[in-house]
Amino acid sequence: MKALLSLFCLVTYLTCTLSANGWPISVDMACNKALSAVACSFEFTNNANEDLYLLKRNTPLEGLDSQFVSVSLDGRPLEYEGIIMRRAPPTKDEFVLLKAAESISATVQITDAFSIDADGLYTVQYSRPLQYLSVNEMRAMSIDQLRESIVHKSVHIHLEDTSLLSKPKEEGDAEIDYTVHLQDCGSATFKNGNVQNSATEDAHKKLCGGIDKAKGKVGNNNISITWFGAYDSKRTAKIIFFYQKTRDGISSKNCIYYNNGPRCKANTYAYTQKTSTTVYLCNLYYGDPTDCSKTGESKEGTLLREWAHAYGLLDHTADGRNDCKNLAKKHPSCAIINADNYGYYYCDAQ
């Protein structure tokens, strides 16, 4: 279901943006098997007659910190098992100047994010629009004016002896500091020191009851419409399903909180991986209040989003309140699989 919804969102998004945007930035890509990994190289070229600032976020230019490719075997999509980050709006240092006719390249190992364990013909497809600003827009730092260049690029690679390939793995091993057992809501373990652990513990304790409360309010009301679009019974059933899946994951697993994760950056709140039992916390997270807010960010809201990523199998396609509201209004079928929409609705429903 999740794969079909993601495909629908991608097709819908491309249809809506096709007429309004050109493709000034193109991508060439190639994939090869090397020892125990499959490495893919990407070259981004500015085809416009002006200099452009390309956003590195959600591209291989920042490494494999997000899903920018999809992988399928004989037409069957593979689950993305890599990093999913929750971040603040982009800052100037996340852009790279790409002069007219200039190219920039990067290489990543897709076996760090996809389990490739069967021989056959694989398709690797670039799956995100590229975002950029003109030089004048960058001077004004007009993030709200981010433009997009749609990518239609894929490669095929026949792989054999895939049992020898490495598999995605968790990072940041550290000793356990302590574990808190919670009635009817699993347990929370803390690693890598004490950085506001008591506040994180307080926020975590509210999640199971908070999810039950939020789930019970899903329906034909203003909060649901704001974050998930016009009422539709089938979408409502899917929203309840994802909330329940997240709650089941939290209550049945030992949830691990790792302070100051190895991949944390200045603009990162937290991150995790699909099906993971660990959420890695970062500096932006520590600066937020503990309890949910209807106007700002909070530790409780961030934790809900990250466990939704890990257990609810949700995408991360929109950030920030306005972006998520627009997604709900224009593309509700995408909003119901976007973790930030679930986070904002969750807090508004408390």
How would residue 323 be classed by pLDDT, with cut points 50, 70 and 90? confident
Instruction: State yes or no: pLDDT of 49 exceeds 90.
Output: yes
Q: Which of 99, 129, 164 is the last residue of a domain?
A: 164
CA gap 289, 298 in Å, rounded: 5
pLDDT (average), residues 227-237 = 96
Q: Does a structural domain hold residue 96?
A: yes
Q: Would you say 31 and 39 are in contact if contact means Cβ atoms under 8 Å apart?
A: yes
What is the pLDDT at residue 33? 94
Residue 324 DSSP SS3:
helix
What is the pLDDT at residue 315? 76
What is the pLDDT at residue 122? 97
Structural domain harbouring 150: 25-164
Q: Does a structural domain hold residue 10?
A: no
Measured from the Cβ of residue 184, the count of other Cβ atoms closer than 10 Å reads 7
Q: Which residues of 58-95 are buried (b: 16+ CB within 10 A; e: fewer)?
A: bbbbbebbbbbbbbbbeeebbebbbbbbbbeebeeebb
pLDDT (average), residues 27-56 = 95
Do 247 and 293 fall within a single domain? yes
Q: Quote the tokens at residue 339.
A: 């973790």
Partnered with residue 13 across adjacent β-strands are none
Do 91 and 226 fall within a single domain? no
Do 230 and 138 fall within a single domain? no
Do 226 and 79 fall within a single domain? no
pLDDT tens column, 110-167: 999 999 999 999 999 999 999 999 999 998 877 667 888 889 899 999 999 999 999 9
Do 264 and 341 fall within a single domain? yes
DSSP secondary structure letter of residue 338: B
Measured from the Cβ of residue 178, the count of other Cβ atoms closer than 10 Å reads 11
Do 150 and 206 fall within a single domain? no
What is the pLDDT at residue 171? 78
What is the pLDDT at residue 174? 81
Collect contacts of 44-48 with beta carbons under 8 A, ≥24 apart.
Answer: 44/98, 44/103, 44/104, 44/105, 44/130, 45/101, 45/102, 45/103, 46/98, 46/99, 46/100, 46/101, 46/102, 46/103, 47/23, 47/101, 48/24, 48/100
Q: What percent of the chain has pLDDT over 90?
A: 76
Nearest to 108 by CA among 65, 53, 169: 65
Q: Which residue has the tokens 């598999």?
A: 167
Q: Would you say 179 and 188 are in contact if contact means Cβ atoms under 8 Å apart?
A: yes
pLDDT tens column, 152-186: 899 999 999 999 999 998 876 788 888 998 877 88
Do 123 and 156 fall within a single domain? yes
DSSP characters for 226-252?
HHH-S--HHHHHHHHHHHHHHHHHHHH
CA gap 127, 253 in Å, rounded: 31
DSSP characters for 39-65?
EEEEEEEE-SSS-EEEE-TTSGGG-SS
Kind of pairing between the strands at 278-281 and 254-259: parallel
Partnered with residue 155 across adjacent β-strands are 124
CA gap 84, 75 in Å, rounded: 24
Q: What percent of the chain has pLDDT over 70?
A: 93
How would residue 13 be classed by pLDDT, with cut points 50, 70 and 90? very low
Do 218 and 151 fall within a single domain? no
Q: Which amino acid is at 265?
A: K
What is the pLDDT at residue 34? 85
The CATH number of the domain where 289 resides is what? 3.40.390.10
Domain count, the chain: 2
What is the pLDDT at residue 8? 40
pLDDT tens column, 250-291: 999 899 999 999 999 999 999 999 889 999 999 999 999 999
